[in-house]
Structure 1
Amino acid sequence: MEGKVKKAAKIAVAATSLLFAHAALASDSSWCESGRPIKFAEIGWDSGKFFTELMREIIEKGYGCKTEAVVGSSPITQAALLNNDLQVFVEYWQGRTESFERAAERGSIQLVGSLVKGGGREGWFVPEYVIHGDPVRGIKPIAPNLKSVSDLARYAEVFRDDEDPTKGRFYNCPTGWACEKDNNQRLKAYKLTASYNNFRPGTGAAFDAAIASAFQRGKPILFTYWGPSNILGKYKSVQLQEPEFNSACWKTIHENPSSNPCGSASPATNLTTALSRDFAKGSPAIVGLMQNVSVPMEDINRVIAEMADKKIPPRAAARTYINENKKTVEQWLSPEAKKALYGAR
């Protein structure tokens, strides 16, 4: 009987300790204490989906908060953040949306963290085998000295447009995308309009399919792209050198397109998380987490390439990342959250 009493006492102590641990997790967040879910914008692109589910998994399991994802377009998302109807927008490309920037300057929303170490990148790419070859596939290098956009005029034949063999083909973003407009200007700035056709796929899916087809067949292709992305995670590519970022030249490309633009690489872009003002004020522990989350570019590219190839749901990919990268993830967390997140695994 005495043994049973002692055992019951131990269980009670353990249960009480667990209760206090969960209370400690939530005590830093009035939002979580209220029982209201933290509403995340549902992101449409792969890296954004992964980061959203990574945050949600950690917040739910480590900090004891409820979360949910809400569908909405960018204008709706911003309005919802301003009104606190939405609390979190993960993977905002800082500097790309003027209305978001103005809201952040006013303090109406808060931008925190740097999700990808070194920031996002955008530029012009060719398959690695075009420059270095691929002995395993029997592909010889056909442009071994291609390094920069300034070299491209000499290599138009390598990237020949089958529909117009007198020119090369540059695969731009689909019509209407911001990157399509920027690349229209870059083609002018790099004096390539006479030697390359500016090809714009009809959709993002068609764009990705054209790139994938070229890689799978071992064919040369010149294309614009950005990272993080599953395309750059799956297919080994070389980014061509561009003139260093120049704010005056960038304005002739992006902000106030000029008929005579000058060349410039895209500015370094911080991939950050946007929070509603009221949520950020009442949730310092969650803000601290979001400030700390940062993943190397090669890791995020690999993860989202696997998501696409193996049709892995973003939440499952997030759980796998948490389990396989404990040392990294623990650096983001409070001591209590570490115990809660990994104690349940």
Structure 2
Amino acid sequence: MFRLDKSLPLLAAALLATSALPAIAQDSPGAGTAITMAQPTWDTGWFHTEIYRQLLQELGYDVAPAITLDNPPFYQSVAMGDVTMWVDGWFPLHSTYEPIFSSGAEIVGAVAKGGALEGYLIDKAAADEFGITSLEDFKRDEVKAAFDRNGDGKADMVACPPGWGCEINIEHHMDAYELRDHINTIKAGYSASMADALAAYKGGEHILYYTWTPNWTANQLVPGKDVVWIEVPEVDLPDMSLADAATLEGVEGCINDPCKLGFPANDIVPVVNSEFLADNPAVGALLNEVAIPLEDIFAQNSAMNDGDTDIEAQAAAWIEENRAAVDGWLDAARAAAS
């Protein structure tokens, strides 16, 4: 007669548990691994930073809220491995930092390809009234007077805070186009400076400002309706190898087409520590899959500017609204780790 061995159920349970381990590991390839994410000092990048952070958490990685860093300390830190990554590299704008990070970090994937524009804008009423098409027009006395909000005899322009990549190009333009005696660059906190400019515009004053996309300004001051992109007199960049990319066709709201913006269009990209990337193929696969529509970043930036600052909730909602695409990205990451 067949006698049941009482140890068999225990053995079967053990085998089932063992067979489940690879599946668990594959579902959470980041289990037990910490990631230190950084985010930039410009808050328009915080939304997509939080989306990536939550996606990495879904892969099992331990990712605390991002730390805020200026460009130079981030690129130094990511090369050394003190910081794992950020998803706010702007290239070619940040190419000046490549000698700093290239020995220990690399670009992987793209948040948005080619859609990050930079340039100078003025209110449309001023463009129509004074016939302004270029920064060169700010050498005219009547134009300077129309944009002089502090009484120093120069046109006031919202520029970039010290340490931002755009500051380098703007400062170069001020010298290249001989505008130091004609334009006063406001280099305080960008969000506060732009909020002040927006209030001035709503009060009937003329405004001149630098901006980039994606940015909440494009929702509050719509190019082609409220404001227009103006051109530079001629393309003049610190790195003239990028000159061809500084004139673009089809820029909505530009004074001309093609539009001589004076800044090359940028890719917004993740920059990751290379050693970490080699040890975590799931992260590289995820970064190569993810893309976030600029329109969604515009919308969040505008909501944030209007007072909705719960970025964690906004990112979670975006992930759920795009769950079908997100699950595909996560599946690709898990497959890379198996």
Give the TM-score normalised by the residue count of structure 1. 0.69
What residue in structure 1 maps to residue 148 of structure 2? 161
What residue in structure 2 maps to residue 275 of structure 1? 272
- Which whole-Å deviations, capped at 9, do the CAs of 1:133-174 have from their partners, x for residues lacking one? xxxxxxxx645x544445555671683314448654333334
Give the CA deviation at 1:282: 1.9
Give the CA deviation at 1:43: 3.6
- Which whole-Å deviations, capped at 9, do the CAs of 1:49-85 have from their partners, x for residues lacking one? 2122101111222x23221235364455444423434
What are the within-5 Å matches in structure 2 for residues 147-296 of structure 1? 147-153=133-139, 156=143, 159-164=146-151, 168-174=155-161, 179-190=166-177, 192=179, 196-237=182-223, 238-242=228-232, 250=240, 265-296=262-293
User: Residue 336 and residue 289 in structure 1: after superposition, are their counterparts in 2 closer, same or farther (change >3 A)?
Assistant: closer
1:68, 1:179 → 2: CA distance?
29
- Which one-letter code corresponds to 1:242 in the other structure? V
User: Residue 232 and residue 248 in structure 1: after superposition, are their counterparts in 2 closer, same or farther (change >3 A)?
Assistant: same
What residue in structure 2 maps to residue 112 of structure 1? 108
What residue in structure 2 maps to residue 69 of structure 1? 65
Which deviates more, 294-303 or 321-330? 321-330
Flag structure 1 segments of 5+ consecutive residues without an equivalent: 1-14, 132-140, 254-262, 339-345
CA contact (8 A) 2:121 2:209 kept: yes
- Which one-letter code corresponds to 1:217 in the other structure? G
What residue in structure 1 maps to residue 256 of structure 2? none
User: Residue 17 and residue 322 in structure 1: after superposition, are their counterparts in 2 closer, same or farther (change >3 A)?
Assistant: farther
SS at match of 1:288: helix
CA contact (8 A) 1:123 1:225 kept: yes
- Which one-letter code corresponds to 1:300 in the other structure? I
SS at match of 2:270: strand
Give the CA deviation at 1:18: 8.9
Which deviates more, 219-228 or 64-73? 64-73
User: Residue 119 and residue 104 in structure 1: after superposition, are their counterparts in 2 closer, same or farther (change >3 A)?
Assistant: farther
Identity of paired residues, percent?
26
SS at match of 2:305: helix
CA contact (8 A) 1:214 1:221 kept: yes
Aligned residues: 296
Matched, 1:309 2:302: no
User: Residue 45 and residue 16 in structure 1: after superposition, are their counterparts in 2 closer, same or farther (change >3 A)?
Assistant: farther
Alignment match of 1:24 (pick from 23, 26, 47): 26
1:168, 1:306 → 2: CA distance?
30
1:310, 1:17 → 2: CA distance?
50
1:18, 1:95 → 2: CA distance?
46
SS at match of 1:170: strand
1:123, 1:115 → 2: CA distance?
20
- Which whole-Å deviations, capped at 9, do the CAs of 1:16-60 have from their partners, x for residues lacking one? 99976543233xx4xx24x12222124432233212210111122
- Which whole-Å deviations, capped at 9, do the CAs of 1:188-220 have from their partners, x for residues lacking one? 4445556x3324254435422322212332432
- Which one-letter code corresponds to 2:229 in the other structure? Q
User: Residue 76 and residue 25 in structure 1: after superposition, are their counterparts in 2 closer, same or farther (change >3 A)?
Assistant: same
User: Residue 160 and residue 43 in structure 1: after superposition, are their counterparts in 2 closer, same or farther (change >3 A)?
Assistant: closer
Which deviates more, 292-301 or 180-189? 180-189
Give the CA deviation at 1:320: 1.7
1:80, 1:184 → 2: CA distance?
26
SS at match of 1:303: helix
SS at match of 1:312: coil
Give the TM-score normalised by the residue count of structure 2. 0.71
SS at match of 2:306: helix
What residue in structure 2 maps to residue 101 of structure 1? 98
CA contact (8 A) 1:82 1:109 kept: yes
Give the CA deviation at 1:98: 6.0
